[in-house]
Amino acid sequence: MSKKTNTLFLILAGTVFNILLIMLCGFFFLLIYSKLLYSFLPESSAAWIMPIIFVASIVVSFLVYRFAVKILMKKVNMEKYFDPIFGGRRKN
């Protein structure tokens, strides 16, 4: 496979990984809310807790994704297998 094909697969795999992380974190935070906090908060709190859970899952998944990319970059020589996404600046 060419470097461009490898780059395309890397972007697609990263996107799928990030979406799965968001769903997993959202499910985890919803589980925590339903088991621990639901008994302390009134039932009307679900209207404002869902956006907080959504934002928290995005933030946590971003941090985990960033950590995973750093580990991948240490283990794999990116220049050897992947094409740069953005080209360099042209000198005129």
> Could you tell me the residue range of the domain that residue 60 belongs to?
3-79
- The closest alpha carbon to 46, from 57, 58, 33, belongs to 33
- Structural domain contains residue 86: no
The answer to whether residue 75 is domain-embedded is: yes
Q: What is the CA radius of gyration of the chain?
A: 19
41 domain residue, yes or no: yes
Q: What is the pLDDT of residues 29-39, one digit of tens each?
A: 988 888 776 67
Kindly give, in sequence order, each residue whose CB lies less than 8 Å from that of residue 89, ignoring residues fewer than 6 positions away: none
Instruction: Encode pLDDT of 43-55 as tens digits.
Output: 666 678 889 999 9
Residue 89, domain member (yes or no): no
User: Looking at the domain assignment, is residue 14 inside a domain?
Assistant: yes
Q: What residues contact 6, with CB distance under 8 A and at least 6 apart?
A: 81, 82, 83
Domain count across the chain: 1
pTM for this predicted structure: 0.75
